[in-house]
Structure 1
Amino acid sequence: MAFADKVVFISGASSGIGAATAIEFAKEGANVVINGRNETKLKNIFQQCAEHGKEPLIVKADISKDEEAKRAIEKTIEQFGRLDVLVNNAGFSKSGTILDGNLMSSYDAVIATNLRAAMHLTELATPHLIKTKGNIINVSSICGSSVPVTPILISYCVSKAALDHFTRCAALELSEFGVRVNVVSPGPVLTDFQENSGMVRDTDQKGFTALKRVSESKEIADLILFLASDKAKGITGSNYVCDNGFLLK
């Protein structure tokens, strides 16, 4: 999977799946753009990418804000003059249920990043991806397609279900221009997602999977790189699940 000199923009790249994806693209020779809000964490990923390949471009921005998202893509094009791969990875969860009175505040916050920002970045990036016949990978979750897990994840589940369908809609529209759009749906992954979302970490997630294991972030990154590569040139509008058999149970 050669990504030499290709330009890859990754949102939410300061930790977890996004960070692992940035490092793996760097290993493959890509010019990586790492986006996030935590500058300290971004600098850490910068160093790890630089150890394996080219120094990435840090774009500190809150992509849920339209002007910052626009600036992020503009900065990418100013630096590299092109864009080949967009990875919409940024996402989080905020507790809120129908009965606790926090549902709408939770929904507004979660949708702004998990769905609206991904849609906006897609819109901003598409003219550049058409020029390079590039592609988009959205990072969703099995929570978007499985049975409800817990009421506090309502907004998160809805955002991911919507992201899945947006992927299919975008894939159909952009297929005319040779731009592929796919989505990956991880199950339990060893990241700091739960802590970042203010949730209590579940230390026994492997008990919910058929394979009795939890994925490392690199496993999801490997899948993202496959879908972004020419090895997946016939794949678009697809949802690739990597959940260790969570949905089987």
Structure 2
Amino acid sequence: MDFKNKVVIITGASSGIGAAIALLFTKKGAKVVMVARNEDRLKNVRSNCEKFGHQPLVIVADVSKDSEAKRVINTTVSQYGRIDILVNSAGISKIAGIVDDNALKVFDEVMSVNLRSIVSLTHLATPHLIASKGNIVNVSSIPDFGALAARTFSYSTSKAALDHFSKCVAFELAPEGVRCNTVNPRPVRTEVIAHTGVSKEEEDAIWKEIEKVTALGRVSDASEVAELIVFLASNKARGITGSSFVTDNGSLLQGVSMSTSFEFK
């Protein structure tokens, strides 16, 4: 899979799955545009990408804001003159039950990042993707297949909506030669637990508990998800659009509810 001269925008590229996607596309020769809110983490990922002989373009932006989403697209086109692939990996998870006082506040925050920002970026990028016959890969998750944890209705709803939005976009853009797919991972070992401030021992214990609720008894690395996304963005997947690809270590086979309050995307 050669992505030489292909321009790839990746949101949420400062850590976790987004960072792994940026690294792999850079390794494959793409012109990578890394987007996230944390400048220091973005620069760290860029430094790792540079080991492959290419320097990604870093854009510090909050894509939930329309003006900043527009700046991402305009800056990319100004720099490279085209967009070939849009990978929407940015997402947040916040806990609130439907009876909690902050239920609507949390719902609005989560939907703004996990759905509306993707709608906005897709709207802005589509003319350029039509011109390049490019494609879109959206990073969803498996909660859209069922209610897997208490007090996560906002997150689960956002991911269910994202999958359906992706199918609608795939249908609408198919005549233009533009594909759109989703990847639905869980659980994936990222920095999400470490960033809560727990000790290394506590972090390892949590991951061990998560392993137990998967049929395969394991947790994915972010690089595994990146490999799937890069495949879907490549010409090898030229016949695939409007599809959701679950990579969950068999979690759905067990029909379990995740007892942890963490969301691993």
Q: Is the Cα–Cα contact under 8 Å of residues 11 and 88 in structure 1 kept in the other structure?
A: yes
TM-score normalised by length of structure 1: 0.96
Q: How does 1:77-226 map to 2 (within 5 A)?
A: 77-145=77-145, 147-194=146-193, 202-203=206-207, 204-226=209-231
Secondary structure of 1:160's counterpart equals: helix
- Decide which moves more: 191-200 or 110-119: 191-200
- C-alpha separation in 2, matches of 1:180 and 1:127: 13
Aligned alpha-carbon RMSD (Å): 1.5
The separation in 1 between residues aligned to 2:52 and 2:4, in whole angstroms, is 13
What's the secondary structure of 1:35's corresponding residue? strand
Does structure 2 retain, via aligned residues, the 8 Å contact 1:96–1:105?
Answer: no
Post-superposition CA distance 1:102-144 (Å, at most 9, x none): 2101100000000000111000000000011000000000011
Runs of 4+ in 1 over 4 A off after TM superposition: 194-201
CA 1:127–1:155 in structure 2 vs 1: closer, same or farther (change >3 Å)? same
Tell me, yes or no, if the aligned pair for 1:7 and 1:80 is still in contact at 8 Å: yes
Structure 1 unaligned spans of 5+: none
- The separation in 1 between residues aligned to 2:91 and 2:63, in whole angstroms, is 10
* Structure 2: runs of 5+ lacking an equivalent: 255-265
Secondary structure at the aligned position of 1:152 is classed as coil
Distance 1:217 1:115, change over 3 A: same
- Identify which range, 77-86 or 149-158, moves more after superposition: 149-158
| CA apart distance, 1:86 | 0.1
Moved more, 39-48 or 193-202: 193-202
- Measure the CA separation in 2 of the matches of 1:198 and 1:247: 29
Q: How many pairs does the alignment contain?
A: 248
* Matching residue's letter, 2:67: E
The residue that corresponds to 1:19 in the other structure is: 19
Give the equivalent residue in structure 1 for 2:8: 8
- What fraction of aligned residue pairs are identical, expressed as a percent? 53
TM-score normalised to structure 2 length = 0.91
**Match in the other structure for 1:65:** 65
For 1:21-60, list aligned pairs within 5 A.
Answer: 21-60=21-60
Moved more, 151-160 or 130-139: 151-160
Question: 2-side partners of 1:55 and 1:114: how far apart?
Answer: 28
Q: CA deviation at 1:98?
A: 1.2
How far the C-alpha of 1:150 sits from its partner, in A, is 1.9
Residue 197 of structure 1: how far off its partner (Å): 8.0
Aligned amino acid, residue 130 of structure 1: I
**What amino acid sits opposite 2:230 in the alignment?**
L
SS in 2 for 1:91: coil
Amino acid of the structure 1 residue aligned with 2:178: V
Shift of the 233–131 alpha-carbon distance from structure 1 to 2, 3 Å rule, reads: same
